[in-house]
Structure 1
């Protein structure tokens, strides 16, 4: 898929800095959708060019453009991921057009990183497919990544853990909402498995044990503010959160969501064991590690249920097999890049 933008077209973009695009469009998000469409519909061609240039530069390896691309998509997604205190641009045709350009570029970039031919290697028999999917994951560099196995466990400082928690918030901090969106339209055993997972996230009816509430306790330990949170997120952390939202909200990407979220839960227990070791090594307040301790056991159970009650029944369909593996690879590859950048560049 070509993402090259002609020089004459590039000249029509907003300014020379992709952050100018982000800030202009972000400024509209707290405006009612009808007003945005009335005032800025005439700007749609200009916006398409500006966002397309950003996407092209991101695909070419421009780190600033990639950060701006994912920051803008994350801000747009907030329109549907939180209850607003005032009217917003949710439902705006103009904003939707921008969002779709960002989404298409994001998914194209992830597809470009999938090893050619691997999606065609999936066994047709469902149990064999599951074994193959797990085997592919185990062979991936991210499966036992040194960020967790060495750095977090043995070397991370309090500031390192603080930064780690901020980056992880884009998925861990809203996993319940991802499950709620994903289950729409499902039925039978798959719906029951997702519902069971969701109810666990809800603390099985105990508000004090809701998992997002427990996760927010970590923010209290580190005194992390919401303003600091967005400013501290890296491009690849934003990407992880954006992929999770994108796949969960669109029914056409249900198969990819199964693979992406299933792989997320399968990787968690071993990773969180290392986080708990680091937390205890540093002597941090016990209230802040309840979330991670809980998920070492809970996510092992969830992953097993997910594989057997969602993946195996769906694997009888060639389209579902391909989609689930595609989503799993998006998670493995994006997580690997995210962890690679978190590794220290100097010896400690």
Structure 2
């Protein structure tokens, strides 16, 4: 079945076409080039860090960032259990072990008091904690006001996974600028895209230089190909960087459209008992995904019921991330849980949120939801 309305499709138009065509005509088709350097400079300026390194994916950026803060085989790295698998996979790439911590059920972001408890426990067990990797869920930053002092007191570096949160902020500071290093993603469904791609952002220029070196197969500065260590083929191409530059020009516009759509969802669900928007109080979110939480006891229906109703009308929705401690690949990992992530997985639903959605598409989605809510509230026939 073809889905007519997708969750978060790429928002590409004439500006992106012009940037990409100019890059093609310039002859800079090989991986490096002027658009790549400019994209790094522009992203660093947008985030507010001293520099950036553009790479092939957010996962690659996570891997390089963990290496950059000194994560080693045998370390443990604290990761939220509510996240995309790439966050945990990148830890394993380094030879370290992820240890999962639960989320705040209101926002989906890392539970900071629980993190503090976990760090104390790991220290008592004699574990070396290589890093903490908070994830900015659904486009909202974690509570860095509380989190950063906890990690500083424990002497543990923070690698901010801001893959979902470019353009968001916390206390006026941009997502990606917290901790020692930040990670962005430009995957096809993100707030802005380079088709596939990511970025390492940091004030630590030596870390960035190291990331750039490793991302280009760790090639030494010689006239021939010289390699003293194992590197990776992680560099972003100049053509994709050109696409990203155009997207960055339109970032505020695209966030604004997502924010307006979230407001329309909020208005539609406001009268419905038992339904809440996850993280709705965050005014600094980039509104990447609008996620609702449905409490069946209060409203009489489940998130899965609405999802099935919308799927029958070719409208895509998605449950929130299945927690990492429930994933077969990580079933044996250590964790500290409250049940909050399990609750969001059972009761959460991401709704179509893309800035590329047309008004007829948005109207169709809202109309289909209203139809569902009306049917659910109608008295049963006798």
TM-score normalised to structure 2 length? 0.27
TM-score (norm 1): 0.29
More helix by percentage: 1
Q: For the pair shown, which has the larger CA radius of gyration, 1 or 2?
A: 2
